[in-house]
Amino acid sequence: MNINTENIEKNRMTFWEKIYLPEIARGLGLTLKRMFRQKMTRQYPEERWEPLGSYRGRPVLVEEGGKERCVACGLCSRVCPALAIEVQAAETPDDKERFPAKFEINMLRCIYCGFCEEVCPEEAIVMSKDYELVFASQESAIMNKEQLLVPIAQLQDRLEFLRRYK
């Protein structure tokens, strides 16, 4: 008997394998057993996931006292490897002297690297917990300053994480 004939003999199905019934019963038994175990899946979006402070979701601008913290230094824009950030500075009578008259992030370009957050001297841009990003067009993926501003109270987990580990 040569090797090919041996393989054919080995792979030949038995009578019980040919009628499938034992395998179907085995499959149903397995399903029944799993039905009473703890569920490993999440019923999203009804059951939402709350990320930890270490999570890097979409970058946002920190809003403090009704204004952005950003001083429009442009460092985040320079460091961004995806060229996703555009900042235009203007003067302000406030103590910080400069503010971003225009601040945009193209979310289709962003790769969530967190470099912008790392380089910012003012803790003015941070990675949020927001992971639900859906855009109907390329234009709507370019987020302006108003869309990027998030009150500081909602970013405490991330700011705490940065103070500990940055």
Task: Kindly list the residues in this chain that would bind ligand SF4 in the complex (CB under 6 A).
Answer: 59, 70-76, 80-82, 84-85, 87, 105, 110-116, 119-120, 122, 124-125
Q: How far apart are alpha carbons 13 and 145 in whole angstroms?
A: 67
Nearest distance, CB of residue 117 and ligand SF4, angstroms = 7
Strands 125-127 and 59-64, how do they pair? antiparallel
Nearest distance, CB of residue 148 and ligand SF4, angstroms = 10
- Which CB, 30 or 101, lies closer to ligand SF4? 101
- Which CB, 51 or 74, lies closer to ligand SF4? 74
Largest CA distance in the chain: 95
For residue 145, the tally of other CB atoms under 10 A from its CB is 18
- Which CB, 115 or 155, lies closer to ligand SF4? 115
Cβ atoms of residues 80 and 104 within 8 Å = no
